[in-house]
Amino acid sequence: MARDYYIVGADIGSTKTCVLVCQPGESGRLEAAGLGVAESKGLRKGVIVNLDATVSSIKKAAEAAESASGLAVDSAYVGVGGPHIRGVNSRGALGLGKMMGHMREVTRDDITRVIQTAQGITLPPDRERIYVEQQEYLLDSQDGIRNPVGMVGSRLEVNVHLITAATAAHQTVITACNRAGIEVLDTVFEPLAGALACLGADERELGVALVDIGGGSTELIVYHAGTVRHSAVVPIGGDHFTNDIAVGLRTPIPEAEKMKRAWGERERGKPFEAVIEVASVGERPAREVSAAMLAEIIESRGEELFELVQEELARSGFEKQLGAGVVLVGGGGKLGGLAALGERILGIPVRVGEPRGLAKMGDILPGPAFAAVIGLIAYGNRLHLLEDHQEKGWTGKLWGVLKGK
C-alpha cells in the first residue's frame, strides 16, 4: 500500500462529531494519523435540524484532524444513523433457462442479475437504498448456499437485507459535508461500521447483535451465519438518560451530563460516593442527594432501552440464536452498569465493544464511542483495495450492484 495513501472517516453524531485520518505505517498496516472531535450542533435525534450549525461542527472536527495529521481532509466515508433508517429483508429469483426445467451452471452474471431483482421492491418516493447485503442463495430445492457459481440448477434465488434511509435526511448529511469542504465517498449505516471495528468473523457466524447507543437514538444490527439478518433503530439514546437525570434531580442539563459521564467513567468495582452534590436550577443553592437516586434514574431508563432492544431481537427471529450475545458500542455503551443490566434483561451475554484493527490507536480510540469512525476507516479501506485490484472485474461490478450504482 502506497505511503502517500490515506483515508478519512467522519462520524456525525447527535453529541459529537469526529473525523479520523489514517494512513499506512512502516509495516503497511493502517494507523491513526490524526483525530478531530467537536461538539455536535444542529442535530436532534440523529437528524440535522440546523444545517449551518452542523457544517460548523464538521469544519471544527476536520480542521483538528488536519492539524494533527498534516493531511488534507477533502473526502471521507461518512456514517449515518437516526430513526429514519429502516431495514427489510427481500428475495429475488431468476430462471436459468428459456424453458421450464432447463438446467445449466450458475455464472457470475447470474449473481449480479438476481441481486438486482431482489432490490426491485418498490420504495416510497421519499426513501432510498443505502446498503444491500447478500444473505444466502437458493438453487432449486437446495438452500443455505453462500456461493452458487458453478453449481447446476434451473432456478436461482437470493435473500438480501436492504437498508434504506429517508432521502431528505440522508441527502442533508451529504450536503452538510460538502459545505464543510468534504466530498462524501460513501455513506455507511453506523452499526455496520461498528461491526467492522468490533466483531470477529466467528461472532458473526455464531450469531451476535451489535447495539450502538448514540446520543439521540440507538441503532442495532443482528448477524447470524456470517451475514446481516436484521437492522433497526430504537428511539432512545444517551441524551434521554441525561434529560431524566436533569428532571429527576432538578439540575441543569450540562450538570446532568457531567453526572452521567462521571457515573459511566468510575472505576469498575469501586462504589460511587454515597451522597453527591447537585447544582440547582436558577439561583437556588446546590444541594446533596443520594447516589442511589442517580442509580435508580439511570437503571430505569436502561431497562426501557433493553426492553425495546429485546423486542427488536424477537422481531428479527434470531433472539434464541445469538451465541455470541450482544456487543454495546457508541458513547452510551460505556455507561456504567449497562452491560450487566442488559444481561439481566436479555438473558444472554452482553459486553462493551472495543474497536481494533488500527496501529497507534492511543488511549482514546479503543473506547466504544469511536467504534463507528474506526469502522468507517475499515470499510473505506476494503473498498479501496477492491477497486484497486478488481475495479473492472466481476467483483467490482457486483459491488456496484450492491450499492445500487
> In the block, which residue shows the cell 437516586?
293
What pLDDT tens digit does each residue of the chain (405 aa) get? 555 789 999 999 988 999 999 998 887 789 999 999 999 999 887 889 999 999 999 999 999 999 999 999 999 999 999 999 999 999 999 998 766 668 889 999 999 999 999 998 888 999 999 999 999 999 998 999 999 999 999 999 999 999 999 999 999 999 999 999 999 999 999 999 999 999 999 999 999 999 999 988 999 999 999 999 999 999 999 999 999 999 988 888 888 888 888 777 665 555 666 777 788 787 777 788 888 888 889 999 999 999 999 999 999 999 999 999 999 999 888 787 789 999 999 999 999 999 988 888 887 888 899 999 999 999 999 888 877 655 545 555 665 656 554
Confirm whether 352 is domain-assigned.
no
**Residue span of the structural domain in which 92 resides:** 86-166
For 367-398, the DSSP string reads SGGGHHHHHHHHHHHHHHHHHHHHTTSHHHHH
Q: In which element (H, E) is residue 312 found?
A: helix 291-316
- The pLDDT, as a whole number, for residue 397 is 60
Is 95 part of any domain?
yes
* pLDDT reported for residue 254: 87
Q: Determine, yes or no, domain membership for 103.
A: yes
pLDDT of residue 271: 60
**Distance, CA of 176 to CA of 51 (rounded, Å):** 6
| Residue 131 lies inside a defined structural domain of this protein | yes
Number of domains observed in the structure of the chain: 1
The per-residue pLDDT for 141 is: 81
DSSP assignment string, 80-133: E-STT-EEEEEEEEEESSSSTT--EE--HHHHHHHHHHHT-PPPPTTEEEEEEE
Alpha helices in 150-237 (DSSP H): 167-179, 190-198, 201-206
What's the rounded Cα separation, in Å, for the pair 203 and 226? 8
pLDDT for res 156: 94
74-122 per-position pLDDT tens digit:
999 999 999 999 999 999 999 987 666 688 899 999 999 999 999 988 8
Q: Which residues on adjacent β-strands are paired with residue 222?
A: 209, 230
Looking at residue 158, which CATH number applies to its domain? 3.30.1490.110
> How many other C-beta atoms are found inside a 10 Å radius of the C-beta of residue 128?
15
Burial class, 246, CB count within 10 angstroms (exposed 0-12 / middle 13-18 / buried 19+) = buried
Distance CA 316, CA 59 (A): 38
**62 found inside a domain:** no
CA proximity to 190, closest of 379, 382, 387, 352: 379
100 falls within a domain: yes
Q: What is the pLDDT of residue 165?
A: 95
pLDDT for the residue 92: 93
Distance CA(325)–CA(209), nearest Å, equals 7
CA distance 80 to 214: 11
In a domain, 129, yes or no: yes
CA distance 287 to 275: 10
The Cα 239–Cα 297 span in angstroms is 13
Residue 53: its pLDDT value, please? Answer: 96
Residue 148 domain-assigned (yes or no): yes
